[in-house]
Amino acid sequence: MDNLKKLSSYFRKYKKLLFIGFCLIIISISLAMVNPYISKIVVDEAITKKKYNLLLPLLIGMLLVSLFRGLIRYWHSYIFEYVSQNILYDLRESLYKFLQNQTFEFFDKTRTGELMARMTGDLEGIRMLFSTAIPLSLNILKNKKSKIAKKRLFFKFVSASFYFISFIFCLLTYEFVFLA
């Protein structure tokens, strides 16, 4: 927990971009619920009730939702990768400044391989946290919720509750990361 508080100083200057990224993830998650609902309408209205004139607009709608969702996913991935690369740069710069101020005795006691491992491996893990782990955890949450929605067929209820849960999760993350 203390390590995340130390890291918070590095990502506070990117809080607007992170907030935009989280919003884009929520939009992407929300759009993932639209195509199954349109599929329900296609089956229940267009095919079952033989309203074939609804078929083409609904299918075009599904295609547009998928394209828009792809764009949203691209941009949230781009934003999180951009932020993670900048945080990594800031961390490396701080570490280099720290190492420049050390005495020769420090370098005699500390192995070079250990320093290099810290400069590469540990920092790469931090970058992966911001670029991959946070967005992936939200997508895992989405997948569990969408499986529940498909099993129960309560599209509107699950969608509304999922919005609420995602919103609460993002608020808690925002408070922990930026206001701590």
| Overall average pLDDT of the 143-169 stretch | 53
Query: Quick one: how far is CA 177 from the chain centroid?
Result: 14
Residue ranges of domains in the chain: 14-178
pLDDT digits (tens, 9 = 90+) for 15-67: 889 889 888 988 888 888 888 888 888 888 888 888 888 889 999 999 999 99
Whether the per-residue pLDDT at 154 is higher than 50: the answer is no
DSSP class of residue 110 equals S
Give the model's pLDDT for residue 81. 86
Instruction: Note the CATH number of domain 14-178.
Output: 1.20.1560.10
Question: What is the pLDDT at residue 75?
Answer: 93
Judged on CB neighbours under 10 Å (0-12, 13-18, 19+), 63 is: exposed
Torsion-angle region of 50 (φ positive above 0: left; ψ -120 to 50: alpha; else: beta): left
